[in-house]
Structure 1
């Protein structure tokens, strides 16, 4: 009997919301396309007119580093306000003194630039010039972060220092000014490579131009809409500079995957249904349900980042979640519209004979073991313990490096050697020592007893001696009072680079030993602030909150899967397997970037710590994406189980019917992620490698070994659920159908106790 003559499979009965949505979009394709185009144009136009800027905001309310920064803003005067950046100079021969007129002239030109609130001339500040006089730096303070200025601003900076360069002085830009000068276009190249790879994979995998083109159109439209929406959100909320890149990585990857699953299911249904609109409706009612659950799972995982208590991290989750949701929306509406527009001519344009998704219909008779994936599933079923142990051992081995993970901040020392921020970093390190790129600021407040001039002088002397005697300190300036006398301020230069473990140890030593020991007798309070101190505090806060984020995300995903698949063991298995694959991905990132194994292949020429927020971001994203493929595979297995297959046959048929599309989807997403290894930002490289490798592991070791092995071992227990739990759980079926609403003779209830 044809599928069109049968009752709908569970959860896809005509009349359901997703069924009606898919069929309506397919019947009125031009209307849906027009609505999407108008909405996209309006969103892009609004973003251009009112969209905000992206900038890193590491505000840490309630911490010592933030208190110190706030005190400097309130009492420090122009010398401590604003955002500092360095303009580093290097001269041979007589040194900078031989270019005194040009140095003074360039300083005046820099001070006259818009947005500049102060410039410190190196020749007027002995501490800003090396002993041989050949290297020095201006400290330029801006009223806002110059990294967010238009790149045309660099032309004005270049013009200001042109007399120096004309005289043979090397000039490089450090700090946020160096970030503004960072080369652009690498991320755009990554996007193009990701899209091109997706087209090739889809054409080779399915042979049909439409099967390749429709997912691409849907994904790009959803991505552009999401980026425009993100820009509008940035006008009201603070988003990190890496937010658009992260949004593109996520939106493009999941958008292609979601639409691909729908197109694949639709093409198969066209073999048994004469009406393309009906096929589109049933596609959205079945595979669309899995897309909806998958997108919801990813979004829940990303929302868990707010448990970090750091707005910077939570908003990164919002940035990624925005394009995930718009990608899912485009897949569920624009894709069926395109399918309806193509009708039965969907495979007319082809590069080879189109390939359909293999496998049987849930209610039909099994085809036997002729399909390679069914044979594979049968092989796993014969030796489930062997495959389970092999897969688990592989993930455990890859996870070993994760045990030595060191969190920190990846500074400009890891930037490409051609970047001006890297050259400025190297000049400062060579001339002033490695710690010159990460000075610390000590801020001391005095109560009434310590405010007397003689006590203040005595305190300043004791503090200076204590700072210089602290192991790990290269130099410390004598503490000087602010103009209003409210604070004492000293600058401490470590003898180690900002991203070294020794610098983190020094920060803790100063905060816990040196400052209390020197200040407590005077009833004074000291605070460490500055970029290095802020980064270390940021790292400590995230390290403390990571277990909470992990617990909340895992618990939320467990409950969601439990409600959808109504199986505690399946939900628990998914959580455990995803944790194993995440540990393996962490291990790869540590081995490459921290241990330096092959890091030169990614244009990182030194070992660096793992950026403090990368593990938390990777966990949320990888956990969500891993659930994507878990949902797509389990949804098909469950269809076969509810249609009457035994557990082993349902696993084999579900794997066979999804293997090709999951493999192609994983290859596409991996290509999208790995393409961002071209980025000049080492943190983006970390995320790209970690996410790309996690998808590979999930689509191979987890999906092909661990999932079928565990499901074969569990047998009927896969679908066991306590009766009391089944009663209290909500039925998360987007079609509005109860699981019992299936065909006569189907297995309508999971195994209940």
Structure 2
């Protein structure tokens, strides 16, 4: 593989102008296409084979418009100066209701003055709207029109806030400020690492081209597949981090070769043949980890995984084509525009990291014990990690989503924000609907008797008389674990003549959590196995492959420990910008620490991303150690040299990743904050404690066993070595006989 990559890099260096023009044209055209022909975005929240999905399927069968996801909306009214029933306010509200009826796609409107429309205080009310169809893509525009139609109420001093049944996962997340902050921080790190403006701009430029291309592809894919609304933000987070990192590794090696007197195009060829192979294998592990989410059994997570992988593919391609083209075009001008305050930096490894590597290699047992103790302390809080639905009460304060949630909770109780949709599949078709069949009355009474249910609406029959639907309001907010107990209790009802199913936000997330929990061992096993296999192909060492996979799992413990401290235990919830939740009466809680639930799919998504990203640093470190070992055959010396040659560049890459992920913590959306915290902590721990201490210590202890490979396995493994050795031939005679075929 190194030979093929070397030829590719050499060709790109010779035809740098053409390669640059092609990439820029692709990025511009795809970006323009996504702007002028944006693909729709929507979350496929179906979970085949679950009770919640059965309820959704029954709702689509003859109940008419407005009974499915995306088929309803609300205008929540609040009169701070008096009750809504005064003559003046009532006329204003009824005028707003009339205007809402004229909005396109509106099928039915219920006035707040109908039964159940006003809160006991009479200061809060709800205009309930049923829409034609269940197209979630049109829901945002329709909601805006509904809000505009409520202007007569606002003119009378009434607050009118639009609300939908969408959850935080359904909101489209806009990119913008955080990306700029991340790029600026990355540029500062690169300036300190390279000391020249030209060199620092190459990884930034390559990453931006990669992101523009990837986001354009993701947007256009929306015309043919369901693209999750979180896809753009996830693709940007991961693409920006890996795009800069991959280019950084190539550029660092290239500048070292130039400093050694290697001609420009030959240096490019060697860089892409060696470090380019590491980039391909590192990117491959990220893609494998994300692709394994296809086994999660949750369509939203599956699609989010492979679409996010597109950004990684773009980052790999730009690294092995666009970066060599830029290096060939710039030549020795890569060191132009040197910053005066940085001094003249050498291109070789840091003596400080080399000293650390030598120190670790001489005290492996002590370093191993210290590393294990630190990692155990960081991972311990993960035992308190709490999963649960992330409801709109944690949305950004001041938004319509958050305000409508607060008003509904203050007026009608916390359960109003997470109603249960109870759908009964009737054993006998109902033909005569007057008077109401006994089975419907019995169904309503049984649901009303469930502990934790505070209100049950009247059952509605579908057109065929084969199913009945009604709404049950629990006593608990959607994020309250007790709401899940209510769902289970309703599902457990044995009603004569009917089979009860429960849908809605709470029920759907409960089913998603159970499905993901059941599939998690399979996903983890596949990711670990395939990643270890990829490393085996790269380094031809079973010990290295297994050890690397286990080390990556260790870094995940620290990430989940940080998430637990910040969100589940609430020790840093304010530090990451989370707003104080509201109490049952709508007032803001004054507590310093408050907990935030973590959606059940987030840990598995984090696992896939972090496992792949952690493997990046493992590949680059192992490549350097293996090259040193092949030269002289001294394992401890190879460990020290490998850490010394990669320590500074890995640290710089990790700083960039951490800066990018921390920048995304500034997003108002809690889901993005959770990902930002988890990714930043894991990368920081991985690049310091694990790659700087634990991995070198274990490699020093294992000695020659690191590179042992059984003869039978060595014969059947294809030759896909990550590193090239041409550039080392004149330094020391390679000791290849020490590696492979079990010749220890």
TM-score normalised by length of structure 1: 0.91
What is aligned with 2:64? 77
Aligned partner of 2:585 in structure 1 is none
Alignment of 1:444-593 (within 5 A): 444-448=424-428, 457-511=437-491, 513=492, 515=493, 517=494, 519=495, 521-522=496-497, 524-593=498-567
Q: Supply the distance in 2 between the matched residues of 1:201 and 1:59 (Cα, whole angstroms).
A: 43
Aligned mates of 1:386, 1:679 — CA distance in 2: 41
User: Contact 1:347–1:354 at 8 Å: present in 2 too?
Assistant: no
Per the alignment, residue 42 of structure 2 pairs with 55
Quick one: structure 1 residues 451 and 559, their matched pair in 2 at CA, closer, same or farther if it must change by over 3 Å? farther
Is structure 2 residue 400 aligned with structure 1 residue 390? no
Unaligned 5+ residue runs, structure 1?
Answer: 1-10, 360-369
The one of 668, 672, 676 equivalent to 1:680 is: 668
Partner residue in 2 for 1:355:
345
CA RMSD of aligned residues (A): 2.7
CA distance in 1, matches of 2:169, 2:389: 19
Task: Note if 1:163 corresponds to 2:137.
Answer: no
Aligned residue for 2:96? 106
Q: Which runs of 5+ in 2 are unaligned?
A: 581-593
Is 2:574 the partner of 1:600?
Answer: yes
Between the aligned partners of 1:695 and 1:736, the Cα distance in structure 2 is: 27
Structure 1 residues 309-458: aligned runs within 5 Å: 309-351=297-339, 352-359=342-349, 371-448=351-428, 457-458=437-438
CA distance in 2, matches of 1:92, 1:325: 54
Q: Does the Cα contact within 8 Å between 2:111 and 2:126 map onto a contact in 1?
A: yes
Deviation at 1:456, TM superposition (A): 6.9
Secondary structure, in 3 states, of the residue corresponding to 2:109?
A: strand
2:428–2:466 Cα contact (<8 Å) kept:
no
**CA distance 1:31–1:464, change in 2 (3 Å):** same
Give 2:590's aligned residue. Answer: none
Q: 1:240 to 1:525 in 2, by over 3 A?
A: same
Q: Is the 8 A contact 1:305 1:313 kept in 2?
A: yes
Q: Tell me whether 1:632 sits opposite 2:612 in the alignment.
A: no
Specify the alignment match of 1:3 in structure 2.
Answer: none
In structure 2, what is the Cα distance between the partners aligned to 1:321 and 1:664? 23
- The alignment partner of 1:643 has SS state of helix
Q: CA deviation at 1:579?
A: 0.7
Aligned to 1:666: 654
Distance 1:181 1:253, change over 3 A: closer
| Distance in 2 (alpha carbons) for counterparts of 1:146 and 1:67 | 19
> In structure 1, the residue corresponding to 2:157 is in which secondary structure?
coil
Contact in 2 for aligned 1:416/1:603 (Cα 8 Å): no
Paired residue secondary structure (1:448): coil
Provide the C-alpha distance between the structure 1 equivalents of 2:295 and 2:729, rounded to a whole number of angstroms. Answer: 39
8 Å Cα contact 1:445-1:487 kept in structure 2: yes
CA contact (8 A) 2:13 2:328 kept: yes
Tell me how far apart the structure 1 counterparts of residues 542 and 53 of structure 2 sit (CA, whole Å): 45
1:65 aligns with 2:52: yes
Aligned 8 A contact 1:717 1:751 in 2:
no
Deviation per CA, 1:143-197, whole angstroms, max 9, x where unpaired?
A: 5678745977666444311111110101122236897998986x31100000000
- Structure 1 stretch displaced more, 702-711 or 524-533: 524-533
Deviation (angstroms), 1:141: 3.4
1:85 offset after TM fit, Å? 2.3
Deviation at 1:662, TM superposition (A): 0.6
Match of 1:7 in 2: none
Cα deviation code 1:650-672 (max 9, x no counterpart):
11111110111110110001111
Counterpart residue number, 1:190: 178
Q: Say which SS state the counterpart of residue 648 (structure 2) adopts.
A: helix
Compare 230-239 and 115-124 and name the one that shifted more. Answer: 115-124
Q: 1:728 to 1:142 in 2, by over 3 A?
A: farther
Matched, 1:35 2:22: yes
Aligned to 2:237: 249
Verify the 8 A CA contact 1:357 1:660 in the aligned structure 2. no
TM-score normalized with structure 2 length: 0.92
Distance 1:181 1:743, change over 3 A: closer
- Alpha-carbon distance between aligned partners in 2 of 1:633 and 1:627, rounded to the nearest angstrom: 10
Judge conservation of contact 2:73–2:143 (CA < 8 Å) in 1: no
